[in-house]
C-alpha cells in the first residue's frame, strides 16, 4: 500500500502514477499497472546519476531541439542507464547533427527519409550499428510525434536493414578443458567465476553482481537478480564512467538456474572464506568487482591456457552450444539464458540447431542400413 510522502497514487483509469521533483524545477511522472511497479520506477530514477545530468536551457526552437529535449527530459531516468547511454550516442552523434544542419523547425516525411538515407549511405558504420541508430530514431519519433496524425506515414519511411546473425564464437571442448584446468591451478579464487559461467550461462555483469545470498545451497540454485555495468557518467562532476548495479537485461533475465553438484562443491570452497551473506562472491567484500577487471583476468587465463583470444561472452555461447549438444530443449535453454523470448534463442543459435538436426537425420541413415543390410 502507498505510504505517506511517497507521492504514488492510483488514478481513476486504474493505473498507478508516481511524481518526482526535477532538479531544475517542475515534476516528472512515471506510470505503471501496480503500486509496486511505480515504486520500482521511482526508485530506479531517483538512484540513477542520470537524474542529475545537465539539462538543455532555453526554449525548443527546432527539430534538433525536439530530439534533445526527448533525450534529456522525456527518456532520462525512465530506462536503464546502459540503455540511456545507447540512446545518448545515437541521438547526439547522428540524429541531432543531421537535423541541426538542415535548420528545419519541423519533423517531416522528407527529412526523416533523408536521415534514413544518410545512415544507409554511411560506409563507416556496420550494418548492425545502422540498424541500432535507426531503431533508436524510430523510438524517439514515436514518442515525440505520438499525438500527431503524421506519425504512421513518417515511420513508414524508416526501413531497418536486414542483418544476418553471424555464427557465435564458441570454445571447443578441448579449449574449454584447458581453460578449466588453468582456472583450477590458479591461486586467484576469483577465477572460479569462469566455471559458474561455463555451467550456468550467466552474463559477465550478472556474475559480477552475484552475492552469497543469491545461492541456495540446499535447493542447488543460483538466483540472478542484479547486473553490474560500467556506463558513461552523465552527471556534471565526477569520473567519466561509473559502475552501476541494476536489474538484469529484461524481465525474463531475473531467474533461478540449477547448479551442477560438482560446481556447488567448488563454490562451497569460496563460501567458507566469505565474511557475510551480503558480500559479493567475486570480490569477497561489499563492493562488486568491475566487469572490465574480470575481463582482464579472463584474458590472462586464456594466454596461460594457450587458447585463442575471444570475448568473455563466448563462454555464454559455449554453455548454450553444449546444452544443445546434450539434448536440452530450446524453451528450457531460453529460460536458463534469460532471453526475453524463444525467438531470440532460435536466431542466435540457429547454426548449432542445424548441427543438431543433421545429427538427428543421420540416425535415420543407420535405421535404413539396419533395415536394408548389404
Q: Coil, strand, or helix at residue 215? A: strand
222 vs 193: CA distance, rounded Å: 13
- Cα torsion 102, 107, 111, 112 to 10°: value is 130
pLDDT at 234 (0 to 100): 79
Q: What are phi and psi of 257, to 5 degrees?
A: -125, 130
In the 8-state DSSP scheme, what is residue 153?
Answer: H
pLDDT at 59 (0 to 100): 46
74 CB-side CA count, 13 A: 16
Q: Coil, strand, or helix at residue 30? A: strand
Q: Coil, strand, or helix at residue 184? A: helix
310-352 tens-digit pLDDT: 999 999 999 999 999 898 999 999 999 999 899 989 888 887 7
pLDDT at 300 (0 to 100): 97
Residues of the chain with pLDDT under 50: 49-60
pLDDT at 181 (0 to 100): 96
161: Cβ contacts below 8 Å, ≥ 6 apart: 120, 127, 130, 131, 134
Q: Coil, strand, or helix at residue 18? A: strand
pLDDT at 67 (0 to 100): 92
108 vs 88: CA distance, rounded Å: 22
pLDDT at 51 (0 to 100): 47
What domains sit in the chain, N to C, each tagged with a CATH number? 1-46 (no CATH), 48-163 (1.10.150), 173-359 (1.10.443.10)
333 vs 200: CA distance, rounded Å: 10
pLDDT at 50 (0 to 100): 43
Extract the C-alpha cell encoding 221: 540454485
Amino acid at each position: 500500500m502507498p505510504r505517506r510522502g511517497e507521492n504514488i497514487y492510483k488514478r481513476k483509469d486504474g493505473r498507478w502514477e508516481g511524481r518526482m521533483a526535477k532538479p531544475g524545477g517542475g515534476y516528472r511522472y512515471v506510470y505503471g499497472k501496480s503500486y509496486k511497479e511505480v515504486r520500482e520506477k521511482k526508485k530506479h530514477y531517483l538512484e540513477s546519476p542520470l537524474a542529475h545530468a545537465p539539462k538543455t536551457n532555453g526554449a525548443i526552437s527546432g527539430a534538433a531541439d525536439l530530439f534533445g529535449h526527448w533525450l534529456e527530459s522525456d527518456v532520462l531516468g525512465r530506462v536503464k542507464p546502459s540503455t540511456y547511454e545507447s540512446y545518448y550516442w545515437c541521438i547526439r552523434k547522428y540524429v541531432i547533427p543531421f537535423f541541426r544542419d538542415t535548420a528545419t523547425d519541423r519533423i517531416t516525411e522528407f527529412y526523416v527519409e533523408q536521415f534514413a538515407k544518410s545512415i544507409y549511405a554511411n560506409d563507416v558504420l556496420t550494418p548492425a550499428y545502422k540498424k541500432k541508430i535507426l531503431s533508436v530514431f524510430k523510438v524517439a519519433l514515436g514518442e515525440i510525434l505520438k499525438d500527431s496524425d503524421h506519425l504512421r506515414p513518417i515511420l513508414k519511411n524508416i526501413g531497418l536493414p536486414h542483418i544476418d546473425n553471424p555464427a557465435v564464437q564458441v570454445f571447443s571442448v578441448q579449449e574449454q578443458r584447458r581453460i578449466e584446468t588453468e582456472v583450477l591451478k590458479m591461486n586467484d579464487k576469483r577465477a572460479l567465476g569462469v566455471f559458474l559461467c561455463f555451467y550456468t550461462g550467466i552474463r559477465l555483469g550478472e556474475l559480477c553482481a552475484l552475492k552469497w545470498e543469491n545461492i541456495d545451497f540446499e535447493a542447488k540454485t543460483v538466483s540472478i537478480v542484479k547486473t553490474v555495468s560500467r556506463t558513461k557518467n552523465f552527471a556534471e562532476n565526477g569520473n567519466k564512467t561509473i559502475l552501476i548495479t541494476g536489474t538484469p537485461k529484461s524481465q525474463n533475465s531475473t531467474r533461478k538456474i540449477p547448479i551442477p553438484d560438482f560446481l556447488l562443491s567448488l563454490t562451497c570452497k569460496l563460501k567458507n572464506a566469505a565474511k557475510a551473506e551480503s558480500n559479493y562472491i567475486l570480490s569477497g567484500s561489499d563492493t562488486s568487482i568491475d566487469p572490465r577487471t574480470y575481463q582482464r583476468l579472463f584474458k590472462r587465463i586464456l594466454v596461460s591456457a594457450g587458447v585463442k583470444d575471444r570475448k568473455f561472452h563466448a563462454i555464454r555461447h559455449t554453455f548454450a552450444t553444449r546444452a544443445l549438444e546434450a539434448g536440452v530443449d530450446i524453451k528450457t535453454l531460453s529460460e536458463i539464458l534469460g532471453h526475453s523470448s524463444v525467438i531470440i534463442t532460435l536466431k542466435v543459435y540457429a547454426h548449432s540447431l542445424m548441427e543438431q538436426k543433421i545429427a538427428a537425420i543421420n540416425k535415420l541413415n543407420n535405421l535404413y542400413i539396419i533395415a536394408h543390410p548389404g
